Structure 1
Amino acid sequence: MEINDLTPAEARVWRAFATGTHVDFRTAGDEDPAGGGSWGPERTVRAGVLRALLLDGPRQEGEVAALSLAGARVTGTLELQYATVDHPVRLRHCHFEEAPRLYAARLREVNLSESAIPGLTAHAVRVEGVLRLTRARFGGVVRLGGAEVTGSLYLESADIHAPDTEGPVLQLNQAVLGADLWAPGLRARGEVRLTGARVAGTVNLADSVLDRPDGTALQAETLAAEADVLLRQADVRGRLEFRGARIPGRLDLSMARLANPGGTALRASSTVIGELWLRQCPKVEGTLNLRRAQVDVLFVEPEAVPDRVQLNDLTYTSLIPHEPAERRLPMLELGESYLPFTYEQLTAAYRRIGDDDAARRVQLAKQRRRRRTLPWYGRLWGHLQDVTVGYGFRPLRAGGWLLSLLAIGSVAYGLDHPAPLKPAEAPDFDPVFYTLDLLLPVISFGQENAFAPEGGHQTLAYLLIITGWILATTVITGLTRTVSRQ
């Protein structure tokens, strides 16, 4: 392209390129690039001119050439497919009439911040530096699948709205970022796809609005982030999908609103997470799926737990904040089936912090939940164990029953002594030890075999013997369970 073919605005940009001089066409600092379609020729630059500059623009010895432009209306399509560009590209506060095409290009720093862009096609692009899309407004799909950025990708406060698109509006699947995905305040009306992405730093989506009701708002299956994934104060309408993700730091959903009524609000199954935070949140609307997840620290406040959870094979080391067992147990009751492992995990968490009383309560709740799965005779026996000694986790109940029966027997036999079998050889009758002989199936004080009750006293003796065996069996069961736990 000859310099004589350029308009005055383009000639200004052309001359500035060789020295990297910034060109700013804006007339006011608060101009809205969305209205740039009405900007006149004095600030209009053809995309073909920008392409020619980047591929074969003028150079000046001792200077670093760069395209640095603000407040321009860019007409036509900026075509850089498969191109190699060694110069920084800074097109801020610009209005693009057509979506740039950067497919498989090799670029240095790229900055399209605060611009209004119909979309972006940049599959498999490689950026040696940072890619800045800060506060950019996209009217179509942003395609960065398979992109490789050696630095960070900045999308803070960007707005993406592709009303005619059924698929993802932001495609970062299989992308590789050498630093952070920095996108606090992102607004995306449609699916954000991070499937298989590799992020060497933090994924920051704090304060973002991810809006895809009845669909997947964030698709992050097999995401690998070397630090944290932050969704603090995010507003997510749709499904959060983290199946198979690897997050050694925090998956922080503090103060976030998760809403997908009738579907899954958060799926983090088969994940490996350092810390999962659900704190100071409104109640999750939808299913919470943590099946087969491995979490070091599970920070979940009971108020955030939804009406349906899936905890099959969830493992965690610490459960915080510390809450009474009565506050944690309802979460284990929300599943469709009895899962012994979930009770064992909660028991282990309480024991690690030395709260043995809460651990016993969880084990008692486990036995009661298991009882519902048994046939009628098993449920009957279970109720008996529960009432008598609380399945061995309430041993003081056995003492209470024994003392009550001991008092009844002692009074009854004290008022009316049973006749001795052999008067000449019988020991002196003692109603207390006679009752103990009947109640305790192992210990013998020599009273039971020496006397023969009759009538109602004989019936009472049978009742004491049967009750004693039941109490002894349940106590032994409880002691065995306690020993095996320890």
Structure 2
Amino acid sequence: MIPADLTPAECRVRDAFPRGEGVDFRESPDEDPADGASWGPERTVRAEVLRALLIGGAVQDGEIAGLRLSGARVTGRLDLTYGTVDHPVRLRFCHFEQDPNLYGARLRNLVLSDSVLPGLTAGTVRVEGVLRLSCCRVTGQVRLQGAKISGAVFLNGARLGVPPDPDAPDRDPGAPEAAAEPALQLNHAEVGTDVWAVGLVAHGQVRLNGATLGGQLNLDDAELHAPGGTALHAETLSVGTDLRAMRLRAYGRVNLSGARIPHQLNLAYARLSNPGGPALRASSCVIGELWLREAAPIVGTVNLRRSQLDLLHVPPETWPGQVRLDGLGYRTLAPHLPAELRLPLLEREESGYLPYAYEQLAAAYRTAGDDAAARTVQLAKLRRHRGTLSRPARFWGHLQDATVGYGFRPMRAAGWLLLLLCTGAVAFALHHPHALKPAEAPGFNPLVYTLDLLLPLVDFGQETAFAPRGGYQWLSYLLVATGWILATTIAAGVTRSLNRQ
């Protein structure tokens, strides 16, 4: 029931409601609703009057009733708990003395843009249209946990929470800002289309864990302040298209663990900072493309464990000093860079040597058609693995690396063959081995004899006709053994080349 003792301002609102007409108390378009506490009775409306209109206000035949109010000072608490409002609600540039309570309410749509509120309680609210909080200033919490909104949510330019006063005498400069309550709770909410929060500034946690969005989440140019805590808590977030956060400034952890982002997670030009802790946690995620193009070097750690991506676009200089990449899978890397610029990242893994990380990087280069880079990665993997072996195994690894590059440098084996050929030819030219059967032996040729020793499965008739003695006999043994190893390496390298072609 509408109160009988209405003020002139409230009478204007009552008379405009049945026709859905707007009432604007503003004296100028640029006045600040933050000064609303000083507005007089000529623009003051009691919250109980607004509630009475929305729940049981008169409706005029042939008109669409609705509450359209601008520039008003709303006193008392607008309490619509579990209420059903069949009319659009539009309260712009208003100053609320108390936080509205819309818990469990059902609304057609709700517009609170450009208003100043001490908070908003709207958990499990149902909105058939859109929810607009653009350019709002809310000093307390915005509670929308479990909300179901058929349209979009607009938070463009909103200011949530209160920045800490650095000059407060009792403030600990090292105290985490995130110890306060979350500035925005959209956890477990269902939004039919998009959440637009371009230019949002939040002091306190923005909570989106378990939320489901039919479209995209847009945090372009947003600033999230929760030093020492979690600035964006979006575990198991599911979006229909993208999570845009270009030029995002996040001071605190960005937690996207378990998120599902089918197209882009775009953090281009972003600045992520959480010294001494994880700056970006996107483990166990399924993401189409992760972009950190021209982002500032990340301060803190990055955790991408067990995530699956189609495209990973991160310049080497953006990665922090410590990463967690165990189980990370991706198909394409961008920008395409030499393997030598990508390999240092794998040495920053907190868990130490991870063979899978090298295999994944090599596979990405093979997908791009850069087989040389893939071989460089495989060689780096074997060298890194060598450090985990026993001393004898490390010695054998160094020998393999120096001689044939673990089989990935077959031309190096050809060089060793040429060197050994020259060495053997000179040595046997200076000291001919004696013939086993002088009457039947062919003429001795030191070059051909050395080739006969070096090349397996090749018989020029020299090796079986002559037998060196002493140190030259040991030289022949060395040539035979190394010949087998090097010739096999060359054959394996040629086989790999033919298979790739």
TM-score, normalised via structure 1 length = 0.96
1:224 corresponding residue in structure 2: 238
* 1:75-133 deviation per Cα after TM superposition (whole angstroms, max 9, x unaligned): 11000000000011111000001000000000111000000000000000001100000
Partner amino acid for 2:314? V
Partner amino acid for 1:224? S
Tell which deviates more after alignment, 387-396 or 470-479: 470-479
Aligned residue pairs, count: 486
Q: 1:470 deviation in Å?
A: 4.1
- What does residue range 265-280 of structure 1 map to in structure 2 within 5 Å? 265-280=279-294
1:198 corresponding residue in structure 2: 212
- What does residue range 258-337 of structure 1 map to in structure 2 within 5 Å? 258-335=272-349, 336-337=351-352
* Partner of residue 391 from structure 2, selected from 364, 376, 379: 376
Contact 2:304-2:328 within 8 A present in 1 as well = yes
Partner amino acid for 1:44? T
C-alpha distance in structure 1 between counterparts of 2:468 and 2:309, whole Å: 64
Gaps of 5+ in 2: 165-176
- What does residue range 356-371 of structure 1 map to in structure 2 within 5 Å? 356-371=371-386
C-alpha distance in structure 2 between counterparts of 1:44 and 1:98, whole Å: 14
C-alpha distance in structure 2 between counterparts of 1:370 and 1:344, whole Å: 13
- What does residue range 53-132 of structure 1 map to in structure 2 within 5 Å? 53-132=53-132
Partner amino acid for 1:71? G
C-alpha distance in structure 2 between counterparts of 1:474 and 1:376, whole Å: 24
Q: 1:454 deviation in Å?
A: 3.0
C-alpha distance in structure 2 between counterparts of 1:88 and 1:155, whole Å: 19
* Partner of residue 480 from structure 2, selected from 447, 457, 465: 465
* 1:327-352 deviation per Cα after TM superposition (whole angstroms, max 9, x unaligned): 11111221132222222222121112
Q: Percent identity?
A: 61
C-alpha distance in structure 2 between counterparts of 1:142 and 1:485, whole Å: 58
- SS of 1:5's equivalent in the other structure is coil
C-alpha distance in structure 2 between counterparts of 1:391 and 1:223, whole Å: 45
C-alpha distance in structure 1 between counterparts of 2:190 and 2:102, whole Å: 16
C-alpha distance in structure 2 between counterparts of 1:48 and 1:338, whole Å: 66
Contact 1:392-1:479 within 8 A present in 2 as well = no
Contact 2:2-2:52 within 8 A present in 1 as well = no
Contact 2:414-2:486 within 8 A present in 1 as well = no
Partner amino acid for 1:287? T
CA RMSD of aligned residues (A): 1.8
2:189 corresponding residue in structure 1: 175
Contact 1:391-1:478 within 8 A present in 2 as well = no
Contact 1:248-1:273 within 8 A present in 2 as well = yes
Gaps of 5+ in 1: none
C-alpha distance in structure 2 between counterparts of 1:159 and 1:468, whole Å: 75
Is 1:159 matched with 2:159? Answer: yes
For residues 231 and 28 of structure 1, do their structure 2 counterparts lie closer, same or farther at Cα, with a shift above 3 Å needed?
A: same
Q: 1:188 deviation in Å?
A: 0.6
Q: 1:319 deviation in Å?
A: 1.2
1:346 corresponding residue in structure 2: 361
- What does residue range 248-259 of structure 1 map to in structure 2 within 5 Å? 248-259=262-273
Q: 1:484 deviation in Å?
A: 8.9
Q: 1:478 deviation in Å?
A: 5.5
Is 1:186 matched with 2:206? Answer: no
Q: 1:370 deviation in Å?
A: 1.4
C-alpha distance in structure 1 between counterparts of 2:2 and 2:376, whole Å: 84
2:254 corresponding residue in structure 1: 240
C-alpha distance in structure 1 between counterparts of 2:455 and 2:314, whole Å: 47
- SS of 1:232's equivalent in the other structure is coil
C-alpha distance in structure 1 between counterparts of 2:385 and 2:159, whole Å: 51
2:42 corresponding residue in structure 1: 42
Contact 2:68-2:91 within 8 A present in 1 as well = yes
C-alpha distance in structure 2 between counterparts of 1:353 and 1:475, whole Å: 25
* Partner of residue 440 from structure 1, selected from 446, 455, 458: 455
Tell which deviates more after alignment, 311-320 or 467-476: 467-476
C-alpha distance in structure 2 between counterparts of 1:332 and 1:481, whole Å: 25
TM-score, normalised via structure 2 length = 0.93
Contact 2:2-2:53 within 8 A present in 1 as well = no
* 1:335-386 deviation per Cα after TM superposition (whole angstroms, max 9, x unaligned): 1322222222221211122111111111111111111111111111111111
- SS of 2:273's equivalent in the other structure is strand
1:415 corresponding residue in structure 2: 430
* 1:259-280 deviation per Cα after TM superposition (whole angstroms, max 9, x unaligned): 1111111111111111111111
C-alpha distance in structure 2 between counterparts of 1:233 and 1:268, whole Å: 18
C-alpha distance in structure 1 between counterparts of 2:396 and 2:496, whole Å: 17
For residues 187 and 2 of structure 1, do their structure 2 counterparts lie closer, same or farther at Cα, with a shift above 3 Å needed?
A: closer
Contact 1:155-1:182 within 8 A present in 2 as well = yes
1:395 corresponding residue in structure 2: 410
Partner amino acid for 2:152? S
C-alpha distance in structure 2 between counterparts of 1:303 and 1:67, whole Å: 53
- SS of 1:468's equivalent in the other structure is helix
- SS of 1:217's equivalent in the other structure is strand
Is 1:452 matched with 2:471? Answer: no
C-alpha distance in structure 2 between counterparts of 1:49 and 1:24, whole Å: 17
- SS of 1:286's equivalent in the other structure is strand
Q: 1:476 deviation in Å?
A: 6.1
For residues 224 and 79 of structure 1, do their structure 2 counterparts lie closer, same or farther at Cα, with a shift above 3 Å needed?
A: same
Q: 1:167 deviation in Å?
A: 2.9
